[in-house]
Amino acid sequence: MPNRSTDELFQLIKTLEKAEKRNFKLFMKRHAASEELKIIQLFDAMDKMDNYDEEVLLRKHKAIKKAQLSNLKAHLYRQVLASLRLMKDESNIDIQLHEQLDHARILYNKGLYLQSLKVISRIKESARSHNQITFWLQALIFEKKIESLHITRSFDDRAEQLSREVDELNDRLLMVGKLSNLALRLYGWYIRVGHARHADEARAVRIFFQDNMPREAQLYTGFYERLYFFQCYAWYGFILQDFLQYYKSCQRWVDLFEKEPSMRRVESQQYIKGMHNLLNAHFMLMNHDKFAEALHMFENFYRSKEANINDNNQVQTFVYLYIAKINRHFMEGSFSQGLKLVPHIEEKLEEYAQQLDRHRVLIFYYKIACLYFGSGDYSATIEYLNRIIHWKVDLRVDLQCYARLLHLIAHYEMGNYDILEHLIKSVYRFMSKMKNLSVVETEIFSFLRRSFHLDPRQLKSDFRVLRDRLKKFEGNPMESRSFMYLDIISWLESKIRNIPVQEVIRERYLRAK
């Protein structure tokens, strides 16, 4: 499990690259005060630590007194950020526009109104071409201030034109706010709960969506209005397990960036997220050819300048690319081959421990456990599932439930019958408490409860009965998540035919091809 330090300064220092550390040292050399030397000493001390330990730090560096440590850390934090700010990022439109606004204000304060207006004009054009509504609006408000306080010899209808522009941008900004709020709340619902688990939850999501989706949203054609509009429908379809709706919305999400390629640099994270969801949609729908095409496209982006321009992009492209690569092995039934990815993933999880959120780590653990299960290594399956089960996080109730169910089946495969009855009761209680029991899971529990008492010769007929019962639920939207997280049908087929589960999936994949 990735190591996490709660010290914010330590986290910041650990994200610095060599060039950024060197720049910080040069930045600090401008100062000669003894306090500044302590700041550098503190920086070096924390940089050398693998995990932040205040007692060890104070013991090794006697010049730093405990009473002054808090103030030194706060000052160091500000100085690191200040040094990073000086490393100009030409790719970041936000930083560029901020800087230009500062220049416009400096010129205005010098009484150079016309020069200030020229800078504002450039800001507006840049903001417009990069769909930066808030900066565009700030520039307009500043321009209104100058026009209302000074004689600038602007043309006669300038006041009317500025007023119309401000009204239009305010209106657009309001719509962006409504749609982004709805998209965020739907995504938050999914992170907390997962997919809709029963008809009442699905009904509640539909009502919430209808009550909060602005009726006039479709009339807006701006980049961000369309982006959040498609995101709303993507999360809505995903939660309800309407994967066709999910796919269509994700495709439109990605298409926005194809129509405006420059926005891939401005909103790299949104593009990365869109590609992840598009790949996920193809995976859910088993669109093998389209999945392969999208994966190739994403791998090319992974090697691009945009994907490697900062830590955030590097981390997110790694996460989503390797989730997609694992999914490809699930689709193709090549679980054993997929295990070759695990050492690299583990290495990256350690490297990106400070930046990765726990939700993504949970997903990796579950998917790696599924790779081991599919390849027949049930001991390693249990090891990875234990990381989820024993990690106390209030995230993805559905994922935690299926981790316990797969954990139970792995013990069944290993023949650990002495603990199986206890595990069945424990997992059943957990899933009942979380209101996560579907008809499919109830059938699985019922089978496991009686099957380990049966003679092996009787088992095959019971496997067939369970498979035939479960197949009836494959097309039921409220039951589809059971098959999505755990390919129980393929497992049952493998038991009936006495062949590895990955061979069953591989045969199905080749038939589909």
Q: What does pTM read for this prediction?
A: 0.80
- Structure confidence at residue 415 (pLDDT): 84
Task: Looking at the structure, tell me whether residues 59 and 108 fall in a common domain.
Answer: no
CA distance 434 to 415: 28
Task: Looking at the structure, tell me whether residues 67 and 109 fall in a common domain.
Answer: no
- Structure confidence at residue 1 (pLDDT): 44
Six token digits for residue 200? 């009442």
Residue 434 resides in a domain: yes
Task: Looking at the structure, tell me whether residues 36 and 131 fall in a common domain.
Answer: no
Task: Looking at the structure, tell me whether residues 506 and 425 fall in a common domain.
Answer: yes
Task: Looking at the structure, tell me whether residues 66 and 129 fall in a common domain.
Answer: no
- Structure confidence at residue 3 (pLDDT): 45
Residue 239 resides in a domain: no
- Structure confidence at residue 417 (pLDDT): 80
Tell me how far the alpha carbon of residue 331 is from its chain's centroid: 22
Query: Mean per-residue pLDDT for 100-119?
Result: 91
CA distance 174 to 216: 12
CA distance 513 to 503: 15
Long-range contacts, 3-8 (Cβ 8 Å, 24+): 3/51, 3/350, 3/353, 4/353, 4/354, 5/51, 5/52, 5/354, 7/52, 8/77
Residue 376 resides in a domain: no
Q: pLDDT tens, 262-274?
A: 899 899 999 999 9
Query: Mean per-residue pLDDT for 49-67?
Result: 85
Residue 138's domain comprises 93-154
Domain total for the chain?
Answer: 3
Q: pLDDT tens, 14-33?
A: 888 888 888 888 888 776 55
Q: pLDDT tens, 213-258?
A: 999 999 999 999 999 999 999 999 999 989 999 999 999 999 999 9
Task: Looking at the structure, tell me whether residues 499 and 413 fall in a common domain.
Answer: yes
Task: Looking at the structure, tell me whether residues 411 and 480 fall in a common domain.
Answer: yes
Task: Looking at the structure, tell me whether residues 122 and 74 fall in a common domain.
Answer: no
